[in-house]
């Protein structure tokens, strides 16, 4: 076959390869809102017009965690070095509420607000694609994954490890990653024990599992609150929303409500306040 005869064949092959090649990462729209939700299937950010959040002044019993995360986020917003953060511990104690409240507090009066981007746990494998889309943006982003954890035979944690720290490209300077979890090490004990029992070197297998948490420079622990802190939560909400109830009645009802739920936490306090407001015919903005 002569060279002129080869040219059409090579052209058809090149066209076919072009069609098979994945499209280049497209720029995502990250303007017009302070919060977004990442949709992995479409590779797009959906703006959130009204974020479901609690004012930072109403979060009680987590003052130390609040101050640390607020300081870290402010440094990040100012273009200074900041750490990824893992908020772990007791359920209902305000981990995700704190992330959203800190984001709002940091943006207050800021000319160039930081964007909060929520990524769902099942979309973690698409995280490298999201980071590639955000890397060249002029904005700064707090990526937020609520209730992050991994089950047995779930290998998604490996891609997350590489993205957070240790990959060739590394985490973009304009991105920080915050996650909440009920577990400090993000993986169930039986998963770690299974790796220990089947590995040639058990200690190395355990190191592989717990090293994911080590990618987070900040570990902020949340623990069950005592009764006085629970009362402070309830009274703070009642005062903020103008629920005029006698202190004795408020505390007695709050105790009864917590007993029926089997726990005391910020979530339980908020649920009681919603019930109280409804019975009083009051709306909560």
Question: Are residues 127 and 157 in contact, defined by beta-carbon separation less than 8 angstroms?
Answer: no
Count CA atoms closer than 13 A to 279's CA, side-chain side.
Answer: 11
With respect to residue 192, please indicate whether it lies within any of the assigned structural domains: yes
60: tokens are 């009680």
What DSSP assignment string belongs to 104-149?
Answer: HHHHTT-SSPPEEEE--GGGGGGHHHHHHHHTT-SS-EEEEESS--
Q: CA-to-CA distance for 128 and 171, rounded, in angstroms? A: 9
User: Tens of pLDDT along the chain (285 residues)?
Assistant: 555 666 776 677 777 766 665 555 455 666 789 999 999 999 999 999 999 999 999 999 999 999 999 999 999 999 999 999 999 999 999 999 999 999 999 999 999 999 999 999 889 889 989 999 999 899 999 999 998 877 666 666 776 776 776 566 678 999 999 999 987 666 555 554 555 555 545 555 555 555 667 788 899 999 999 999 999 999 999 999 999 999 999 999 999 999 999 999 999 999 999 999 999 999 987
Identify whether 87 is part of a domain: yes
Q: Are residues 107 and 82 in the same domain?
A: yes
With beta carbons less than 8 A apart as the criterion, state whether 134 and 30 touch.
yes
141 & 245 share domain: no
Q: Are residues 199 and 96 in the same domain?
A: yes
Q: Tell me how many domains the chain contains.
A: 2
Q: Give CA–CA dist 67/88, Å, rounded.
A: 16
Instruction: Please indicate, yes or no, if residue 4 is contained in any of the structural domains.
Output: no
Q: What residues are paired with 141 via a beta bridge?
A: 115, 175
176 with 274, same domain: the answer is no
Question: For position 160, what pLDDT does the model report?
Answer: 78
**173 and 258 together in one domain:** no
Whichever domain contains 173, its CATH number is: 3.40.50.300
Q: Is 26 within the bounds of a domain?
A: no
Asked if residue 30 belongs to a domain, the reply is no
- Shared domain for 184 and 239, answered yes or no, is no
> Looking at the structure, do residues 39 and 160 belong to the same domain, yes or no?
yes
- At residue 90, the 3 state secondary structure works out as coil
Let me know whether 147 and 184 are in one domain.
yes
**213 three-class SS:** helix
- Domain around 84: 35-222
Return d(Cα 242, Cα 111) in angstroms, integer: 32
Helix intervals (H) in the chain: 3-20, 63-77, 95-107, 127-134, 156-164, 189-198, 202-214, 227-240, 247-261, 266-280
Residue 65 domain flag: yes
Q: Are residues 75 and 188 in the same domain?
A: yes
Do residues 135 and 245 both lie within one domain? no
Residues 118 and 199 in one domain: yes
pLDDT (0 to 100) of residue 186:
66
* Residue 109 in tokens: 């009066």
pLDDT at 74: 97
Q: How far apart are CA 246 and CA 255, in angstroms?
A: 14
């Amino acid at each position: 076959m002569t060279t002129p005869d080869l040219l059409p064949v090579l052209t058809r092959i090149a066209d076919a390869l072009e069609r098979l090649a994945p499209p280049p990462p497209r720029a995502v729209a990250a303007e017009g809102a302070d919060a977004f939700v990442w949709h992995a299937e479409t590779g797009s950010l959906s703006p959130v017009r009204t974020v479901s959040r609690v004012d930072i002044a109403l979060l009680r019993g987590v003052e130390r965690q609040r101050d640390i995360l607020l300081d870290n986020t402010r440094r990040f917003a100012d273009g200074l070095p900041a750490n990824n953060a893992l908020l772990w511990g007791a359920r209902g104690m305000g981990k995700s509420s704190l992330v959203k409240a800190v984001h709002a507090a940091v943006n207050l009066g800021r000319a160039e607000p930081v964007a909060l981007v929520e990524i769902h746990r099942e979309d973690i494998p698409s995280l490298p694609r999201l980071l590639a889309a955000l890397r060249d943006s002029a904005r700064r982003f707090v990526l937020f994954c609520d209730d992050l954890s991994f089950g047995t035979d779930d290998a998604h944690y490996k891609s997350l490890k590489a993205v957070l720290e240790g990959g060739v490209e590394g985490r973009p300077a304009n991105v920080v990653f915050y996650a909440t979890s009920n577990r400090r090490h993000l993986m169930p004990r039986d998963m770690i024990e299974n790796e220990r029992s089947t590995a040639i070197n058990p200690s190395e297998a355990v190191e592989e599992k717990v090293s994911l948490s080590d990618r987070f420079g900040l570990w902020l622990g949340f623990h069950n609150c005592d009764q006085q802190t629970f009362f402070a939560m309830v009274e703070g909400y009642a005062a903020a929303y103008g629920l005029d109830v006698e202190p004795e009645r408020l505390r007695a009802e709050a105790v009864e409500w917590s007993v029926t739920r089997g726990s005391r936490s910020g979530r339980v306090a908020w649920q009681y306040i919603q019930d109280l407001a409804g019975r009083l015919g009051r709306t909560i903005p």
